[in-house]
Amino acid sequence: KIGKYEFQEFLGGGMSHVYRAWDPVMNRMVAVKILTAEATADPEAKARFLREAQTAGGLTHDNIIRVYEFGEEDGRPFMVMEFLRGEGLREAIQSGNVGDLPRKLEIALEAAKALEYIHEQSIVHRDIKPENLHLDTNGRIRLMDFGIAKRLELNLTRAGFTLGTPYYMAPEQVRGEEITCLADVYAFGILLFELLTGSKPITGASVEQLFYRILNEPLDLAPLREAGVPPRICE
């Protein structure tokens, strides 16, 4: 238990742990994300967690997860978010639960609306991938996990330390250059390819090989055409 929140189930996590919890005051299920003791001892990890809470807590959009509260318990920071039912976009793609082409485009459009909204707030997510998008029980897409997001005027990342998931990283991220909203647009394009074909457009046996291909090899759009995606969408 943390404050009024009664933990019911451990949902997973790495540097932070996520629990399904009950809020008896508001009479609703919530998700509580709490930084581990080890991560709390790391000033940079703690600052990143606080920045995530501040960033996500200030966002209000139908396609973005809501953060209700932020606090500390025994020195460990935690945030309280809405509890999303449904399934992650990664699971939906793997199980074939993303529907036909019009439905896939609806999902992509909702994700794009979420991105447009955060970019209007001068926020770059920097980790757009199926794992950070959730399809709720109404079929609505929700953008999550602002752990490495940053406002364009801030730079709390160590020089030379690249953040992001390799498959979806834009060339400028790979090179460690200044990141703008275009990095999210690039990642959205990779995600769209995967949503439409079920496979990643860039693969590699190692991170080094993957980064080489991102920087040097043009994307092969043949899998899109083979999947029956109309030429206008391929373009």
Helix orientation angle between 101-120 and 181-197, rounded to the nearest 10 degrees = 170
Contact 40, 75 (CB under 8 A): yes
Contact 153, 55 (CB under 8 A): no
Catalytic-residue membership of 23: no
Three-state DSSP at 6 gives: strand
Tokens 């001068």: give the residue.
Answer: 122
Structure letter (DSSP) for residue 5? B
H or E stretch at 51: helix 43-57
Tokens 């929700």: give the residue.
Answer: 142
Catalytic residue, candidates 23, 127, 145, 184: 127
Say how many CA atoms lie within 13 Å of 104 toward its Cβ. 22
Nearest by Cα to 182 from 110, 125, 113: 125
Q: Which residues are catalytic?
A: 127
